Amino acid sequence: MSFGEHVKRFSSRSVSMLAHYQAKVPNGIWQECPHCHASFYFKRAGQYRVCPECGYGFRVTAHRRLKMLTKHFEEWDADLETKDPTEFPEYDRKIKKAQSATHLKDGVLTGKATIGDYPVALGIMDPLFIMGSLGTANGERITRMFEKATKQQLPVVLLTASGGARMQEGIYSLMQMAKISQAVNVHSAAGLGYISVIMDPTTGGVTASFASQADITLAEPKALYGFTGKRVIEQTINKELPSDFQSVENSYKRGFIDEIVPRERMAERLTQLLSILEAKKWGEA
């Protein structure tokens, strides 16, 4: 047998062995970070689902995020869901698929929670529910959350993650920005604090309204934060933008973000800030 035939035979066996072992490795054991592209054994991400190389927080469901922040939670408006106002084709099927994946009626979880020793109105947007897009149902839930927080004299903590307005609901989706913003203003006028936490991604109409209206704006490391897509902006202005243009790190440098907090320290930092808001509230009483 020639040298070339030996090489060919060896290569064929190697490919066969690789395919054999790949078939025995369960999906998800080896993961790649979408930010730094490092590959690692999935358990290295830990219970907080954070890349061990760059600190990027993987996108997780709202229910999983809730467990990272508190054990004390009373959900509000759990059954509120969209009525498909525009009768968009296949939209009903997409909604049902998202509901099954996230165990939510729509893309946000809201309710009364205790973070540290402090009662708060808590909202968590779910990036896995149609990209956390803002529709009529989750817009209504967030509005009601601010209204109940105002009535009960509670501060608000809202974790945002969204691809923007939900196109399947058209103008009804866009109306949610103004509606929520009005509820935010009433809550603020009552002298109550609002903390937003920017998760990956926070874009579009959510960025243009309530995500950017908080008294204190925190963010997770390496999260995408902006209005419209980088490529769209470049095509519009005919100019190349920096690679970090829509990162929270870039926004922090320019004063749009108050602090970047690692996911595993978020509950602790929120507790500290809530204690300050509580002291301020009593100081003004």
Average pLDDT, the chain: 89
Distance CA 107, CA 125 (A): 6
Q: pLDDT (tens digit, 9 = 90+) per residue, 159-198?
A: 999 988 999 999 999 999 999 999 999 999 999 999 999 9
pLDDT at 7 over 50: no
Q: Model-level pTM greater than 0.85?
A: yes
CB-based contact 69:116 (threshold 8 Å): no
Q: Which amino acid is at 270?
A: L
Is the confidence at residue 18, as pLDDT, over 60? no
Look at residue 186 in the predicted model and tell me its pLDDT. 98
pLDDT, mean of residues 27-44: 88
Provide DSSP, 180-229.
HHHHHHHHHHTT--EEEEEEEEE-HHHHTTGGG--SEEEE-TT-BB-SS-
For residue 278, what pLDDT is reported? 87
| Token pair in block for residue 32 | 């790649």
At 210-221, the pLDDT tens digits run 999 999 999 999
Angle between helices 266-284 and 62-69 (to 10 degrees): 70
Q: Is 33 annotated as a binding residue?
A: yes
User: Is residue 36 annotated as involved in ligand binding?
Assistant: yes
pLDDT at residue 47, as a whole number: 92
| Percentage, residues of the chain above pLDDT 70 | 89
Average pLDDT of 111-134? 96
Element (H, E) at 146: helix 136-151
